[in-house]
Amino acid sequence: MRPIITDLMNFDKEIDISKRIEDALVYTHGNTLVITSIQNANRAMSGLQHFKYSHSSKIKNFCGICLDGTIQNEALPEKDELQAGIHPETCILFQDASGKFGVYDNGHLFCCSVFSYPNMSDVVAFAGSISTPNKFAVLHKSALHICKLKLNAYEEIGSYPVAASNIIAFENGYLLQKSDTLVYFENGQFKDYFKSTSTVCPQITDFKVDNGRVVVVSVSGEKCIMSIIGSKPIGLLKWRHGFWDFHDDWIVAHLKGDLLAIISADNPDVRQVVNLGEFGDKTTNIVSGADRYGEKYTITLMKRSGIAFMNVPYAILTGQAAVEGGPENAKVANFRSGGTKVKVPR
Task: Give pLDDT tens digits for 150-201.
Answer: 999 999 999 999 999 999 999 999 999 999 999 999 999 999 999 999 888 9
Task: Give pLDDT tens digits for 105-127.
Answer: 988 889 999 999 999 999 999 99
Categorize the per-residue pLDDT at 87 as very low, low, confident or very high, splitting at 50, 70 and 90: low
- The Cα–Cα gap between 206 and 1 comes to 33
Neighbours of 287 (CB within 10 A): 24
- The pLDDT of residue 202 is 94
Q: Give which of 345, 340, 346 is closest to 276, Cα–Cα.
A: 340
> What residues contact residue 342 under an 8 Å CB cut-off, 6+ apart?
2, 3, 4, 5, 274, 275, 276, 277, 279, 310
Residues 245-251: what's their mean pLDDT?
93
DSSP calls for 128-168: E-SSSTTEEEEEESSEEEEEEEETTEEEEEEEEE---SEEE
Residues 317-328: what's their mean pLDDT?
59
Categorize the per-residue pLDDT at 296 as very low, low, confident or very high, splitting at 50, 70 and 90: confident
